[in-house]
Structure 1
């Protein structure tokens, strides 16, 4: 059971590191050419993928992401969209309140 789990983890780590290496831009690869990293990742289990993940490419200083985002990805992350949405909601509530007050005064 443990052997099977280690094999699955090794394969998953290798696939992840290989995909990361292939998708990395050539100017971000450190130490070796990209083709050499690919060979190391595939041929040396555990050591190749782990070395790639820690040493093989330049990481952004913020850690994690691919770099600074160029703009909001979704509408709920766009400050202008959220501001307009808030203004629309307030305007609709105000208009509804005015309509309701107008109906009450007629009765």
Structure 2
């Protein structure tokens, strides 16, 4: 029985500390109801119940689009729509010319390792 109380107390302290850190680390816009400092005080003064209240009531979920991952430009449909066809063709031509120039530079300096 004593082991269960020790393990339960340890888990309660870990949950309490995690709740405090999570509440303090969230931006002020992600707190519901009362202010950030009030939530921190609630979590500190009412250890386990305050943490449960924080996760159940106080922590706002990410708004739509707020947690959206950043995309590379070639994966972003809005960016691709913003490009005109002539810009794309000019960029492709520029890259092909640069690649051809690099190939020409490498052709003169490479030696064939075969006898």
TM bucket by the smaller chain?
Answer: 0.5 to 0.7
The corresponding residue for 2:51 is 49
Aligned residues of 2:30 and 2:62 also touching (Cα < 8 A): no
Aligned mate of 1:15, from 14, 17, 39: 17
Match of 1:34 in 2: 36
Cα distance in 1 for partners of 2:57, 2:33 equals: 8
Q: Which has the larger radius of gyration?
A: 2
| Unmatched segments (≥5 aa) in structure 1 | 73-78, 80-107
Report if the CA contact (8 A) 2:23-2:36 is conserved. Answer: yes
4+ aligned runs moved over 3 Å, structure 1: none
CA distance in 1, matches of 2:27, 2:63: 17
TM-score by structure 2 length?
A: 0.54
Q: Return the alpha-carbon distance in structure 2 between the equivalents of residues 26 and 61 of structure 1.
A: 14
Alignment of 1:1-107 (within 5 A): 1-60=3-62, 67-71=67-71
Say if 1:71 and 1:12 are closer, same or farther in 2 by CA, change over 3 A.
Answer: farther
CA RMSD of aligned residues (A): 2.1
